[in-house]
């Protein structure tokens, strides 16, 4: 049986899948693209065997998954692609409408924590499917602020934020608040997947990730062509992300989980990793 392996189509995944896409690193499996929430749902239903998922999805059902070691999407400061754009200061958004993307559970959970603990405001969150590129729909939704993620955040930031006077980088705000890195996404395998197949997929992803880190300039050119964001901005973005899962990253991840458990957002659980080969 061929493994079905999930991939987010945003450019932040280019360094992990770039060598696989180019045939430099072989992968014994079928790649399946989807936004974070779509991949979360397909992993939860058992439709995928291995995938990148939102950090919150792992915490939501940790008994179902095994974490793949040393593989994540994280930042230790600005992330650049998870942004709150606002027409007024975040501290003044109590009772105001904030549009939040349905496509990222982790970004929304982080935003809620920051409003409660950093900005001390209580806005009205309104889930939306509209994208920045959908100009008519975007403009028609009345709001005071908007959470924008992925390539759309990079594009909006590079074009001057439009009508928004304030922009907040959620990765950087978390760093200023806690002093820790933030892990947005992790790679997991279903616990019922054969260990040797999961290990082979993990090794391919790690080898591809290592190639990607060494070829950021090539990936930045590809990203610029795909998004219309400048090459310089794409290179700075990809260079600023971290694709490992070191002790400092795990400290940030467990602190995030601790706070989510405290507010009843996820059940208490443990971090369980795929055993090493």
Rg (CA), the chain: 18
The CA distance from 133 to 129, in Å, is 12
pLDDT, average across residues 226-253: 96
Per-residue HEC secondary structure of the chain comes to CCEEEEECCCHHHHHHHHHHHCCCCCCCEEEEECCHHHHHHHHHCCCCCEEEEEHHHHHHCCCCEEEEEEEEEEECCCCCCEEEEECCCHHHCCCCEEEEECCCHHHHHHHHHHHHHHHCCCCEEEEECCCCCCHHHHHHCCCCEEEEECHHHHHHHHCCCCCCCEEEEHHHHHHHHHCCCEEEEEEEEECCCCHHHHHHHHHHHHHHHHHHHHCHHHHHHHHHHHHCCCHHHHHHHHHHCECCCCHHHHHHHHHHHHHHHHCCCCCCCCCCECCCC
The CA distance from 97 to 84, in Å, is 12
Instruction: State both tokens at 103.
Output: 């496509």
pLDDT, average across residues 3-29: 97
pLDDT, average across residues 24-38: 95
Interhelix angle 247-262/170-178, nearest 10 degrees: 90
242 - beta bridge partners?
74
Q: What pTM was computed for the model?
A: 0.94
Q: Enumerate residues 6+ apart whose C-beta is below 8 A from 192.
A: none
pLDDT, average across residues 219-242: 96
Beta sheet of 65-75, edge-to-edge order: 29-33, 3-7, 50-54, 182-190, 65-75
Closest CA to 51 of 105, 11, 9: 9
The whole-chain average pLDDT of the chain stands at 93
Residues 49-90: pLDDT tens digits?
Answer: 999 999 999 999 999 999 999 999 999 999 999 999 999 999
Closest CA to 49 of 66, 37, 35: 66
Q: Which domains, and CATH codes, for the chain?
A: 3-75+182-262 (3.40.190.10), 82-178 (3.40.190.10)
- Give the pLDDT band (50/70/90) at residue 158: confident
Q: State how far Cα 209 lies from the chain centre.
A: 16
Q: Residue 132: its pLDDT value, please?
A: 47
């Amino acid at each position: 049986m061929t493994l079905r392996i999930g991939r987010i189509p945003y450019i932040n995944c280019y360094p992990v899948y770039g060598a696989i896409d180019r045939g430099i690193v072989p992968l014994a499996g079928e790649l399946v693209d989807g936004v974070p929430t779509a991949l979360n749902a397909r992993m939860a239903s058992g439709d995928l065997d291995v995938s990148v998922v939102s950090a919150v999805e792992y915490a939501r059902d940790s008994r179902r998954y095994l974490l793949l070691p040393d593989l994540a999407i994280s930042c230790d400061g600005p992330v650049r692609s998870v942004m709150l754009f606002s027409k007024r200061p975040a501290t003044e958004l109590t009772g105001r409408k904030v549009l939040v993307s349905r496509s990222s559970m982790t970004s929304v959970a982080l935003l809620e924590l920051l409003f409660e603990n950093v900005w001390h405001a209580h806005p009205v969150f309104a889930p939306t499917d509209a994208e920045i590129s959908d100009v008519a729909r975007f403009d028609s939704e009345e709001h005071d602020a908007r959470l924008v993620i992925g390539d759309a955040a990079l594009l909006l930031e590079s074009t001057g934020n439009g009508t928004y006077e304030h922009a907040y980088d959620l990765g950087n705000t978390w760093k200023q608040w806690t002093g820790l890195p933030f892990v947005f996404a992790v790679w997991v395998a279903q616990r019922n997947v054969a260990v040797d197949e999961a290990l082979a997929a993990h090794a391919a992803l790690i080898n591809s990730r290592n190639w990607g880190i060494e070829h950021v300039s090539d990936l930045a050119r590809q990203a610029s062509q795909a998004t219309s964001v400048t090459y310089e901005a794409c290179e700075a973005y990809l260079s600023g992300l971290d694709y490992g899962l070191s002790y400092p990253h795990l400290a940030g991840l467990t602190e995030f989980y601790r706070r989510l458990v405290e507010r009843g957002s996820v059940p208490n659980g443990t971090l369980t990793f795929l055993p090493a080969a």
